[in-house]
Chains A and B, each alone.
Chain A
Amino acid sequence: MRRWALGGAFALAFAVAASSADAAAWAVVDPADPRGRQNLLFLMGGFRLTLELSALAVALGVVLGLAGALLLRSRIGLVRAVTRAAVELVRIVPLFVLLLWVYYALPILIGGWSDNWAGRLLAPIADMSPFTAATLALSANAGAFLTEIFRAGIEGVPRGHVEAARSLGMDARVTFRRIVLPQALRRMLPATVNQFVTTVKDSSLAAAIGLAELTRRATELQTQTYRPLELYTVLALEYLAVLLVLTWVARLVERKVRPE
């Protein structure tokens, strides 16, 4: 499947390149052309922020998701209700809107609290960079969806496996770590990889608040060169490259942990 996707993408890129009326236009991203090489380097300079943002959002999302999944299983009803509300809220608000809200609205809100403890606590993010805002919004989003994935994974482990462990004298923590988690991880892996892929793609939204990641750079160059076909085709291939590597690694991991 992956090989087909790869071949298809490149075939499409070449078809696009060959069929464009103005073949010389590809000079704008031609590595053989000095100007084109400079443009490519500029575009690919976005890899770093895209990868940093995605990796951070995925890592924080996993932490939030694990915490959320455990809180949803709390014995205290209020804890479950608050967690459930937070998860639903973040899942319902479109990520783009969440991003705009975190970047433009949240600092104003925090500024208004300047005289109380919450304001002092949050002061460091009152004047946040696009990168911070994007990380917050993206990891909250990933965390909310991963909460559901992890919860389903944990609840998918048969109750009898837990009872067998408890009946042997294993405490709740050891049972979770040794019996529930290893099985849950296997169950949640495919859905988790999906969420990682989604998060990498969604990091492109950060272009809208001025983060100079892949998409932002392509857009900026496009406004200077008026070459949307060439630049956005390269942009698509850039995401393709990142996600092919990610799904390839995921496949290796999946093969390694797959139960017999």
Chain B
Amino acid sequence: MTPSLMSGPLLAVRDLTKSFGALSVLRGVSLDIVAGDVVCVIGASGSGKSTLLRCLNLLESSDSGRILFHGADIAELGRSHGGHAAEAERNRLRARIGMVFQNFNLWPHMDVLANVMEAPLRVRRLSRDEANREARALLDKVGLGDFAAARPARLSGGQQQRVAIARALAMVPEVMLFDEPTSALDPELTGEVLAVMRLLAAEGKTMICVTHEIAFARAVASRVAFIDEGRVVEDGPPAQVIDAPREARTQKFLARFT
């Protein structure tokens, strides 16, 4: 990648729209993510936050608008079937954009270590030794080095989500997408997951995080984007969006958290 591209945003979303049948979920979302940004996306349920993330790594195809990744539009790639070449390109892109899901989605037929090793083995084509070494290092990083041989079903929700984070990190993605990573957890288990995310943020990982954890957003986010009815209503540093929102809708939404 050339320096001129690096100076621009890593991801730039422009007027992105998406409907499911008659239901219009995204109605022209625009958002810039610079390398090293930690962007927390907040908003009510059904406001389109999750759909936005799913469009970004092409799990969902958008209807119109652009998604510029290193300056190149990938939204069109998500829309066309485009045969084998396009499919291969989509797979390569997804590998560079990590995703952590609300429901962890660990593979129950593999142990924790195998969950983390699978994609590096099949996609990055690492040797078993390399994949093993990296996976163990990542499990240590998320505090689960002792659980390598455990089946996911034996772990608590918080532990499962930390494995899921390690699994996504194993592809060395340029940006990590978190889709309400703590929403399925008991309140006492959210802390351990947020701690791992704080660690990643401190390391300078580029992250987009859909969350209802306003305290986390305030402490960790470099920017907060408030989405309502399929549009970004307000976007700025947490001190502004959370503590001094300008828009009435943002104020109304945040009032529920204080």
A174 touches B59 (CB 8 A): no
Question: In this assembly, does B74 line the interface, its C-beta being within 8 Å of a C-beta of chain A?
Answer: no
A146 to B92, CA, bound (A): 35
A161 to B122, CA, bound (A): 16
Chain B residues lying within 8 Å of A183, measured Cβ to Cβ, are 107-109
Known: A167-B94, A169-B91, A260-B151. 17 other contacts (CB 8 A): A160-B103, A160-B105, A161-B105, A163-B59, A164-B107, A165-B107, A166-B59, A167-B97, A167-B98, A167-B168, A168-B94, A168-B118, A168-B171, A169-B94, A174-B122, A183-B109, A260-B153
Chain A residues lying within 8 Å of B88, measured Cβ to Cβ, are 171
B109 touches A168 (CB 8 A): no
A259 touches B108 (CB 8 A): yes
Interface size class of B (residues with CB under 8 A): 20 to 34
Which residue of B105, B106, B118, B154 contacts A178 across the interface (Cβ within 8 Å)? B118
Interface size class of A (residues with CB under 8 A): 20 to 34
Which residue of A167, A172, A186, A260 contacts B99 across the interface (Cβ within 8 Å)? A167
Chain B residues lying within 8 Å of A163, measured Cβ to Cβ, are 59, 99, 101, 105
Smallest distance from the beta carbon of B87 to chain A beta carbons, Å? 7
Question: In this assembly, does B123 line the interface, its C-beta being within 8 Å of a C-beta of chain A?
Answer: yes
Question: In this assembly, does A170 line the interface, its C-beta being within 8 Å of a C-beta of chain B?
Answer: yes
Question: In this assembly, does A8 line the interface, its C-beta being within 8 Å of a C-beta of chain B?
Answer: no
Q: List 25 A-B contacts (CB under 8 A).
A: A163-B59, A163-B101, A164-B106, A164-B107, A164-B167, A165-B107, A165-B119, A166-B59, A166-B94, A167-B97, A167-B98, A167-B101, A168-B118, A168-B171, A169-B91, A169-B92, A169-B94, A169-B95, A169-B96, A169-B171, A170-B119, A178-B122, A183-B108, A259-B108, A259-B109
A252 to B35, CA, bound (A): 54
The 9 closest A-B pairs by CB, nearest first: A169-B95, A168-B119, A164-B105, A167-B99, A160-B105, A169-B123, A260-B151, A169-B94, A182-B109
Chain A residues lying within 8 Å of B101, measured Cβ to Cβ, are 160, 163-164, 167
Question: In this assembly, does A179 line the interface, its C-beta being within 8 Å of a C-beta of chain B?
Answer: yes
Question: In this assembly, does A94 line the interface, its C-beta being within 8 Å of a C-beta of chain B?
Answer: no
Question: In this assembly, does B206 line the interface, its C-beta being within 8 Å of a C-beta of chain A?
Answer: no
B:78-122 near A, CB below 8 Å: 87-88, 91-99, 101, 103, 105-109, 118-119, 122
A167 touches B59 (CB 8 A): yes
A61 to B110, CA, bound (A): 29
B:173-198 near A, CB below 8 Å: none
Question: In this assembly, does A158 line the interface, its C-beta being within 8 Å of a C-beta of chain B?
Answer: yes
A:178-201 near B, CB below 8 Å: 178-179, 182-183, 186
**A167 with B57, Cβ < 8 A, contacts A160-B101, A160-B103, A260-B151 known:** yes
Chain B residue, CB-CB nearest to A159? B105
Smallest distance from the beta carbon of B241 to chain A beta carbons, Å? 28
**A161 with B107, Cβ < 8 A, contacts A169-B92, A169-B94, A171-B91 known:** yes
Q: Mark B41-85, 1 if CB is under 8 A from A, else 0.
A: 000000000000000010100000000000000000000000000
Chain A residues lying within 8 Å of B105, measured Cβ to Cβ, are 158, 160-161, 163-164
A164 to B123, CA, bound (A): 13
B:157-180 near A, CB below 8 Å: 164, 167-168, 171
Smallest distance from the beta carbon of A178 to chain B beta carbons, Å? 7
Chain A residues lying within 8 Å of B94, measured Cβ to Cβ, are 166-169
Q: Mark A186-222, 1 if CB is under 8 A from B, else 0.
A: 1000000000000000000000000000000000000
> Which of A161, A168, A174, A183 has most B Cβ within 10 Å?
A168
Chain A residue, CB-CB nearest to B151? A260
A259 to B152, CA, bound (A): 11
Smallest distance from the beta carbon of A46 to chain B beta carbons, Å? 41
Smallest distance from the beta carbon of B89 to chain A beta carbons, Å? 11
Chain A residue, CB-CB nearest to B111? A260
A179 to B110, CA, bound (A): 9
A182 to B119, CA, bound (A): 16
Chain B residue, CB-CB nearest to A169? B95
Which residue of B91, B99, B108 contacts A170 across the interface (Cβ within 8 Å)? B91
Smallest distance from the beta carbon of B227 to chain A beta carbons, Å? 21
Q: Mark B8-28, 1 if CB is under 8 A from A, else 0.
A: 000000000000000000000
A204 to B38, CA, bound (A): 69
B109 touches A170 (CB 8 A): no
Smallest distance from the beta carbon of B59 to chain A beta carbons, Å? 6
